Amino acid sequence: MIDLYKAKKAFQNYISQYDMTIPSIRLKVVHTYKVMECSEYLCKQLHLSKENSDLASLIALLHDIGRFDQWMRFESFADHKTIDHALFSSQLLFEQGLIRGFIEDCQYDKIIQDAIEQHNRYRIDDGFDERSLLFIHLIRDSDKLDNFRVKEEERIEDILYVSLDKVNQEHISPAIYQQFFHQELIYAPNRQTHIDMWLSYIAFIFDLHFESSIQYIHDYHWVERSFERLQPVNPQVNQEYQTLKQIALEYIQKGVQYES
């Protein structure tokens, strides 16, 4: 049995040890609950059972639980420079035993662990059965969907750790431009500039699994809103930026037409 009320109380108790006045800590708390909302949206669109919907919500609640210690240790969320936050979250839950504070029933442990460990992978590992893949795709899509809200509501300084003026003066790395141009998910360690980072977030659309996720991006105009936050000052860079915007918009529009 999954008791989401109990799980949410346990989560509140867990995060109470962290300073909520730290922007990055607060950001991840809000993100956690918003990912749950995105998960609920997808589950409703997919007409999943209450059990499956509740399990997806629990995974969403716990998927970033390692982020808080990650920030306190390194003052960074860059996994390739610090620790893999998904594996660390899994270790906290299943090696250190925190999972039993969120759910007593152990029958879902393997699915929860697999979904959390796979949610930030560049590519999903092979070997998962259909049921496991359902929850892996749900948390991956839900996480990506809320990242668009995060990138709009939060200050650029709290997301990219530099001023907006500095970002707008940068260039787009050729490798990143080519990956985006060919509608590919961007491999994080390849990013060289903060504009590269920004484009890598928008490129999440190329890895969305569910048609409902594409519809969500379309309905909220997330591609347009994300691109509008930056205004590269170099004419050539701005032209490249607008080209990639058009590619992203066409990708979403095609996905919506395919669904209808």
CATH number of the domain at 135, please: 1.10.3210.10
Averaged over 42-68, what is the pLDDT? 98
Q: How far apart are CA 212 and CA 43, in angstroms?
A: 10
Quick one: 126 and 202 in the same domain? Answer: no
Number of domains in the chain: 2
Quick one: 4 and 35 in the same domain? Answer: yes
* Domain end residue (candidates: 113, 128, 154): 154
HEC string for the chain:
CCCHHHHHHHHHHHHCCCCCCCHHHHHHHHHHHHHHHHHHHHHHHCCCCHHHHHHHHHHHHHCCCCHHHHHHHHCCCCHHHCCCHHHHHHHHHHHCCHHHHCCCCCCCHHHHHHHHHHCCCCCCCCCCCHHHHHHHHHHHHHHHHHHHHHHHHCCHHHHHCCCHHHHHCCCCCHHHHHHHHCCCCCCHHHCCCHHHHHHHHHHHHHHCCCHHHHHHHHHCCHHHHHHHCCCCCCHHHHHHHHHHHHHHHHHHHHHHHHHC
pLDDT of 68-123, one tens digit each? 999 999 999 988 889 999 999 999 999 999 999 999 999 999 999 999 999 999 99
Quick one: 47 and 129 in the same domain? Answer: yes
What pTM does this model have? 0.94
Quick one: 127 and 12 in the same domain? Answer: yes
Quick one: 84 and 48 in the same domain? Answer: yes
pLDDT of 181-190, one tens digit each? 999 999 988 9
Quick one: 41 and 62 in the same domain? Answer: yes
Quick one: 21 and 141 in the same domain? Answer: yes
Which pLDDT belongs to residue 80? Answer: 83
Range of the domain at 47: 1-154
* Domain end residue (candidates: 133, 154, 175): 154
Quick one: 126 and 243 in the same domain? Answer: no
Averaged over 192-214, what is the pLDDT? 97
* Domain end residue (candidates: 154, 171, 191): 154
